[in-house]
Amino acid sequence: MSQFLAKEGVKNLHKPGEKLITTHCCYCGMQCGMHIRVNEKSGKVVGVEPRYDWPVTNGKMCPKGVTAYQTIEHEDRILKPLIKRNGKLVEASWKEALDLIEKNFKKLQKESGKDAVAVFGGVSMTNEKCYLVGKYARVGLGTRFIDYNGRFCMSSAAGGFIRTLGTDRGSTLPWPELEHTDCFFIAGSNTAECHPTSIQWLWKAKDKGAKLIVADPRETPTARVADVHLDLKPGTDSALANGMLHIIVKEGYVDEEYVSERCNNYEELKKTIEKFTPEYTSQLTGVAVEKIIKAAHIFGMSPRSVVMFARGVEQQTKGVDNVSLYTTMALLRGQIGKFASGVATFTGQGNGQGGREHGQKADLLPGYRKLTDPAAVEYVSSVWGIDPSEMPKPGVSAYEMFDEIEQGNIRGMHVICSNPAVSAPNLEHIWKGFEKLDFLVVSDFFLSETAQFADVVLPATTWAEDDGTTTNLEGRVIRIRKIREPLGESQPDWKILSMIAERMGRGQFFPYNNASEIFEEFRLASKGGKADYYGITWDRIEREDGVFWPCPSKDHPGTPTMFTESFGTPDGKANLACIEWQEAGETPTNQFPLFLTTGRVVFHYLSGNQTRRVNFLYEQCPEPYAEIHPALASQYNIHDGEQVKLVSPRSHMVVKTRITKAIRKDTVFVPYHWGKELAVNQLTSDHLDPYSRMPEFKVCSLKIEKL
Ligand SMILES: Nc1nc2c(c(=O)[nH]1)N[C@H]1C(S)=C(S)[C@@H](COP(=O)(O)OP(=O)(O)OC[C@H]3O[C@@H](n4cnc5c(=O)[nH]c(N)nc54)[C@H](O)[C@@H]3O)O[C@H]1N2
Ligand SMILES: Nc1nc2c(c(=O)[nH]1)N[C@H]1C(S)=C(S)[C@@H](COP(=O)(O)OP(=O)(O)OC[C@H]3O[C@@H](n4cnc5c(=O)[nH]c(N)nc54)[C@H](O)[C@@H]3O)O[C@H]1N2
Ligand code: SF4
Ligand SMILES: [Mo]
């Protein structure tokens, strides 16, 4: 392992008797560079040091990252398989657990067909593991029902990028270039709390005079320092974006040469934006006319601008439309494919980029190939050694798998690296689904709310107990390193999947001894696809501080800047989005007069199953709360810290209030990192984006009841 030890420059960080192993944080898409401190004698993890020479994060880390090491040997780790006996999960041997899985999966598939068993994946895993989850479902189990938590996260960004640019890479530019940007237009991203270490680039640019525009119903820490804060009503982004496009066109800010050479639909666009005057846009969005005009002028006049967004605009029934329209802002200004400018979504999960490219999505195969494309099926089948006729057809999206459970089509499920019992919308439907399943297997290292429904829980390893790669939010493929041997009887996910495949009689397709062998196969499976990793090797990543995809051959330099010459569309031109404004799936009514929006806090990660177990993080934020504007609070005669009942058309919950001027008067915000009666997803709606099938976590209607 010696070659993976920290480089010379950081030797001063060593304490006597310790070694440092270089890796990246397990949580968000920033993938901050870090060294884990290990006691040389005991092999135990004792701490962390930031990696100052990592070019993307420069030694910066956030509160989650600096405590992540505490989860590795945490006392709550599941160390042996668990089997449900008389309603209780009890420890069992691997043989007992695998016997039970084999028996039940085979029985369900015999009775109801291969599709009776579904796979629900996640992207907090390495590329090697994410790739194998797709192969496991299609080759190991032979089911068409596979989808994953990225459907809740990146699917609308992917849909919007494919529609406009033809290829979905989360960022068209490398992050360090952000320092040289003149204007940031950031929509629906709580950047300072959710991608904290990217803030350094904003500050560096701001020190040189860059302008910042933020579109968010809340005055987030990032909105607070913005030159213009567009405090829009939840669900009105497509109106706001059309309003911005209107001014960009009317004021002559369009890069006409770029648009005529590189874009389609300009004439049609001019027609759709015609009616989005600042006044009309203000009426729809609730944002003051002057702010809209000011923002458009700043953006329009900036030589180098970046349009950035995150789940605030994507987790809507208009998520794909929103992404397409905001991307069109960058296109009209001729910014994509150039230095220090472009468009980027803040990819959420650690491997939210890589994990969405290689076949966990219901309709995708490795390399971003479409399952509906016969040539793609043929190629991937040849890599996998199966007959193309054996390849299952596309399945349904993550939330819709629970409809299939309700209808009795899915009877067994394997959840790997996700906790949908907290993180899926309209939770009653999800909980009923888990109860209805004949057989549920969950792979996790902590007993999640989802694992509590399981018949068998398999102890997976954490990110620190296996080698592999992830792809960060820039599109840079990086190395995750094994810090210690697996704790207890836990096993890396690829090993678990291979063992089950073996039990299902498909062992010959899963012959792996280590993650590196999987990477080699995966390189080949991605070869020639849009997300082409063929030229990337673990050695290259080591030498070059990561390699950007697409990278089709070993002598290809990788692609830090996308679309310099042409776009990923069939004709090489970008498609400007010409889209009418439409309301959210659910808007306030007399009975439910408010907007509910949901999201994150800096101290917790997603369903909270990891961060709620870290004392420091838990103490900072032990429970959810409702952010309410003072004007709204006084209307209901509610005080700060008072318990109130929040009621949506589906369900209700009781939370404490946090009274703050940093939110619209018609909107309530609740973070979603807790389960059961503290889960805000009891209230969220099951409206899905028609293209991406992403749930509308960011908008539903609500009423407040005083207790
Ligand atoms: N601390 C922390 N960091 C994280 C995570 C975490 O759980 N905790 N998770 C990671 C993951 S997987 C993800 S996906 C990202 C998410 O990162 P973000 O998308 O930045 O986080 P969210 O809090 O979900 O939502 C962002 C903002 O959208 C705003 N918003 C709500 N409705 C609307 C709307 O209609 N329009 C607009 N324009 N804005 C709206 C909210 O007020 C919120 O400030 O963060 C990653 N980083
Ligand atoms: N209301 C509301 N709901 C939301 C959102 C929102 O903004 N609002 N955001 C959505 C978004 S963007 C996301 S990404 C989802 C995420 O929601 P989830 O998919 O539930 O995310 P996690 O909490 O990370 O769940 C991962 C689980 O796998 C475990 N785990 C971590 N790493 C590994 C591993 O390597 N192997 C295995 N086997 N297990 C592992 C963790 O312990 C945890 O229990 O939530 C979505 N839900
Ligand atoms: S959670 Fe994200 S920002 Fe924080 S240390 Fe980890 S990778 Fe970096
Ligand atoms: Mo996410």
Pocket residues: Cβ below 6 A from ligand 3: 25, 27-28, 30-32, 61-62, 64-65, 196-197
CB 236 within 8 A of CB 252: no
Q: Is the peptide bond preceding residue 221 cis, with omega within 30 degrees of 0?
A: no
Residue among 123, 311, 586 whose CB has most ligand 1 atoms within 8 A, to mutate: 311
d(CA 465, CA 69): 11
d(CA 186, CA 215): 6
For residue 16, what pLDDT is reported? 87
For residue 2, what pLDDT is reported? 34
Ligand 1 atom closest to Cα of residue 154: 14
Q: Is the pLDDT of residue 14 over 90?
A: no
For residue 12, what pLDDT is reported? 53
Nearest CA to ligand 3 atom 4: 62
Whole-angstrom CA distances from 274 to 160, 242, 269, 419, 678 are 22, 9, 8, 45, 45
User: Do 594-706 and 162-345 have the same topology in CATH?
Assistant: no
User: Which CATH topology does 2-71 take?
Assistant: Phosphorylase Kinase; domain 1 (3.30.200)
Count the alpha carbons within 13 Å of 227 in the hemisphere toward its beta carbon: 20
Convert 304-339 to b/e letters by CB count within 10 Å (16 or more is b). Answer: bbbbbbbbbbbbbbbbbbbbbbbbbbbbbbbbbbbe
| Residue-wise pLDDT tens digits, 250-308 | 999 999 999 999 999 999 999 999 999 999 999 999 999 999 999 999 999 999 999 99
d(CA 608, CA 46): 23
CA dihedral 196, 697, 309, 67 (to 10 degrees): 10
Among the bound ligands, the one closest to the CA of 603: 1
Going by pLDDT thresholds of 50, 70 and 90, the confidence category of residue 410 is: very high
Residues pairing with 45 in the sheet: 38
Going by pLDDT thresholds of 50, 70 and 90, the confidence category of residue 8 is: very low
d(CA 516, CA 326): 39
Length of the chain: 707
- Neighbouring residues of 291: CB distance < 8 A, sequence distance ≥ 6: 228, 229, 230
Cα of 153 to ligand 4 centre, how many Å? 4
How do the domains of the chain map onto residue ranges?
2-71, 89-153+354-548, 162-345, 594-706
d(CA 582, CA 151): 22
Nearest CA to ligand 1 atom 2: 194
Pocket residues: Cβ below 6 A from ligand 1: 28, 153, 187-190, 193-195, 215-218, 220, 232, 234-235, 237, 310-313, 346, 348-349, 597, 599-600, 602, 604-606, 669, 698-699
Residues pairing with 21 in the sheet: 5, 36
CB 416 within 8 A of CB 119: yes
Residues pairing with 50 in the sheet: 34
Cα of 606 to ligand 2 centre, how many Å? 5
For residue 3, what pLDDT is reported? 38
| Residue-wise pLDDT tens digits, 415-432 | 999 999 999 999 999 999
- Overall average pLDDT of the 600-609 stretch: 98
The percentage of the chain sitting over the pLDDT mark of 70, rounded to a whole number, equals 98
Count other Cβ atoms within 10 Å, centred on residue 554: 12
Cα of 296 to ligand 3 centre, how many Å? 32
Nearest CA to ligand 1 atom 31: 312
Task: Write down the number of H helices and E strands in the chain.
Answer: 23, 28
Cα of 98 to ligand 4 centre, how many Å? 31
Residue among 120, 154, 445 whose CB has most ligand 2 atoms within 8 A, to mutate: 445
Class of domain 594-706: mainly beta
CB 431 within 8 A of CB 651: no
CB 662 within 8 A of CB 649: no
Q: What mean pLDDT, rounded, does the chain reach? A: 97
- Neighbouring residues of 583: CB distance < 8 A, sequence distance ≥ 6: 235
For residue 15, what pLDDT is reported? 81
d(CA 152, CA 144): 19
Count other Cβ atoms within 10 Å, centred on residue 44: 12
| Residue-wise pLDDT tens digits, 663-689 | 999 999 999 999 999 999 999 999 999
Q: Is the pLDDT of residue 5 over 70?
A: no
For residue 393, what pLDDT is reported? 97
Going by pLDDT thresholds of 50, 70 and 90, the confidence category of residue 494 is: very high
Whole-angstrom CA distances from 577 to 264, 266, 274, 638 are 9, 9, 14, 44
Cα of 568 to ligand 2 centre, how many Å? 30
Range with the poorest average pLDDT among 9-18, 246-255, 531-540:
9-18
Residues pairing with 89 in the sheet: 84
Q: Which residues surround the ion ligand 4 when the cut-off is CB under 5 Å?
A: 153, 348
| Residue-wise pLDDT tens digits, 298-337 | 999 999 999 999 999 999 999 999 999 999 999 999 999 9
User: Nearest-CA neighbor of 372 among 355, 356, 395, 353?
Assistant: 395
Cα of 54 to ligand 2 centre, how many Å? 26
The domain made up of 162-345 is a member of CATH 3.40.228.10: yes
Task: Label residue 699 exposed, middle or buried (CB < 10 Å: 0-12, 13-18, 19+).
Answer: buried
The domain made up of 89-153+354-548 is a member of CATH 3.40.50.740: yes
CB 184 within 8 A of CB 208: no
- Overall average pLDDT of the 588-597 stretch: 98
pTM reported for the whole predicted model: 0.97
30 phi and psi angles, rounded to 5 deg: -65, -35
Pocket residues: Cβ below 6 A from ligand 2: 122, 124-125, 149, 152-153, 311, 315, 348-349, 416-420, 422-423, 443-446, 448, 460, 463, 493, 598-599, 606-607, 609-610, 672, 680-681, 684, 697
Cα of 62 to ligand 3 centre, how many Å? 5
User: Nearest-CA neighbor of 230 among 285, 284, 283, 304?
Assistant: 285
Whole-angstrom CA distances from 426 to 15, 421, 423, 441, 569 are 49, 10, 9, 22, 36
Torsional sign, CA 577, 579, 585, 590: positive
Ligand 1 atom closest to Cα of residue 311: 19
Place of tokens 């119903």: 217
H or E stretch including 38?
strand 33-39
d(CA 684, CA 584): 13
Residue among 71, 149, 687 whose CB has most ligand 2 atoms within 8 A, to mutate: 149
Among the bound ligands, the one closest to the CA of 604: 1
Among the bound ligands, the one closest to the CA of 125: 2
- Overall average pLDDT of the 83-100 stretch: 98
User: Nearest-CA neighbor of 258 among 338, 343, 336, 334?
Assistant: 334
Cα of 549 to ligand 1 centre, how many Å? 26
Nearest CA to ligand 3 atom 6: 65
Nearest CA to ligand 3 atom 8: 32
